[in-house]
Amino acid sequence: MPVEPPVTSPRDLAEAYASLAAAPARPIAGGTDLMVALTGEIGEPPDRILDLWRLDELRGIALDGDAISLGALTTYTEVRRSALCREHLPVLVEAAATIGAAQIQNRGTLGGNVANASPAGDTLPVFLAADAAFVLGSARGERTVPASEFWPAYRQTALAPDELLLRIRIPLLAGREMRFRKVGTRRAQSISKVVVALGWRDGSADEPLAPSAPWTDVRLALGSVAATPIRAKATEAALEGRPPTPETADRAAETLAAELQPIDDVRSTAEYRRLVAARVLHRLIREAGGW
Ligand SMILES: Cc1cc2nc3c(=O)[nH]c(=O)nc-3n(C[C@H](O)[C@H](O)[C@H](O)COP(=O)(O)OP(=O)(O)OC[C@H]3O[C@@H](n4cnc5c(N)ncnc54)[C@H](O)[C@@H]3O)c2cc1C
């Protein structure tokens, strides 16, 4: 039988920082990823655990100037029920609805998904495409790391051992549209084979342009196709400044198929991922263009 590691449950952030500064410990939020690792069957189990669940400083969804701020302990159920998310970030509500099933959505957190750094983490491409920034904290102070720099390599993050992810900040840009699609073996409890998050701007929120208006600030992020979530920059360039017409969709899908170098693993072949990612992108553009 594996030995259970000792757990510390700080009541506030100052206590959590002091505990982490005194001795390294693995944070636990909802535990839906970490509990699976406790048996030691999939890698080294942690020696000590720091339970974040009582840290109210890591909770809450709020507007913060021209951004929306999501506490690291925000669960998927909270995202789905949040009026602010539904109004300002419906793409995250959509992504949250595809995660696990009700039990996982009640307990699993955004911070856990981000810090776990699985390339199949479903919210990661959304955060990349939305230009999210992660606010990290420790006894040394706070710092902000853009999503584009947060996952440098397979299952690695920008977090130092004594740092916690506090909150996620997503800029709310006028006229920004976002779409999300996850492809798995089934609709619930499925690990993604391909995840696509697409963002663009097509005018201001006050003056929305017709669906045929050219796209700017295009962001295309993919999950489950590489060692980390990635942006498809050549495909973004192929979409930039163009309206969502059939010709644009054909060109973008071709560019993506050529640009992607997907992984081959137990869940899918590289070829499947390439074809599906291109088809998903084509469909998202078609839906946005209304043709
Ligand atoms: C049955 C099942 C289905 C699942 N389905 C999906 C799915 O469809 N899509 C998907 O993306 N994931 C899925 N997962 C994985 C998991 O539920 C998510 O990744 C979830 O968001 C993890 O959050 P958590 O709070 O449970 O993280 P934990 O398990 O508590 O932590 C995960 C990792 O993050 C670290 N961590 C957590 N919070 C912080 C913080 N604030 N600061 C620093 N480090 C932190 C922990 O140390 C640990 O390394 C599934 C898991 C299970 C068991």
Mean pLDDT in runs of 10 for the chain (291 residues)?
81 97 96 89 86 98 97 98 98 97 97 96 98 98 98 97 98 95 81 94 64 91 96 98 97 97 86 96 96 94
Which residue among 19, 32, 58 is best mutated to probe the pocket of ligand 1, counting the most ligand atoms within 8 A of its Cβ?
A: 32
SS3 28: strand
SS3 127: helix
pLDDT of residue 136: 98
Ligand 1 site residues, Cβ closer than 6 angstroms = 26-34, 36, 52, 58, 72, 99-100, 104, 107-109, 111-113, 115-116, 121-122, 159, 164-165, 189
pLDDT of residue 101: 92
pLDDT of residue 204: 52
Neighbouring CB atoms inside 10 A of 253's CB total 21
Comparing CA positions, the residue from 29, 220, 228 lying closest to residue 121 is 228
pLDDT of residue 82: 98
Q: What share of the chain is helix, strand, coil (3-state, %, to 5)?
A: 35, 25, 40
Comparing CA positions, the residue from 98, 126, 256 lying closest to residue 197 is 126
pLDDT of residue 42: 76
Residue 230 has φ and ψ, to the nearest 5°, of -130, 160
With the CA atoms of 267, 106, 177 and 174 taken in that order, what torsion angle do they form, in degrees rounded to the nearest 10?
A: -150
pLDDT of residue 207: 57
pLDDT of residue 209: 59
Distance between CA atoms of residues 276 and 206, nearest Å: 35
**Ligand 1 centroid vs 220 CA: distance in angstroms?**
23
285 CA to centre of own chain: 21
pLDDT of residue 186: 73
SS3 279: helix
DSSP letters along 177-243, please?
A: EEEEEEE-SSSSS---SEEEEEEEE-B-SSSBPPTTSPPEEEEEEEESSSSS-EE-HHHHHHHTT--
Its sign, for the CA torsion 69, 117, 80, 29, is: negative
Q: Are 192 and 184 in contact (CB under 8 A)?
A: yes
Strands (E) in the chain, as ranges, are: 7-8, 26-28, 49-51, 61-64, 67-71, 133-138, 141-146, 164-171, 176-183, 194-201, 216-223, 230-231
> Reading across the β-sheet that carries 7-8, which strands appear in turn?
7-8, 49-51, 26-28
Which residue among 105, 116, 124, 159 is best mutated to probe the pocket of ligand 1, counting the most ligand atoms within 8 A of its Cβ?
A: 116
- Read off the DSSP letter of residue 171: E
Q: Letter for the amino acid at 148? A: S
Q: Which residues contact 28 (CB under 8 A, 6 or more apart)?
A: 7, 34, 35, 49, 50, 51, 52, 53
Distance between CA atoms of residues 197 and 211, nearest Å: 18
pLDDT of residue 210: 64
Which residue among 44, 52, 76, 113 is best mutated to probe the pocket of ligand 1, counting the most ligand atoms within 8 A of its Cβ?
A: 113
Residue 237 gets the label, from left (phi > 0), alpha (psi -120 to 50) or beta, of alpha
Distance between CA atoms of residues 238 and 281, nearest Å: 12
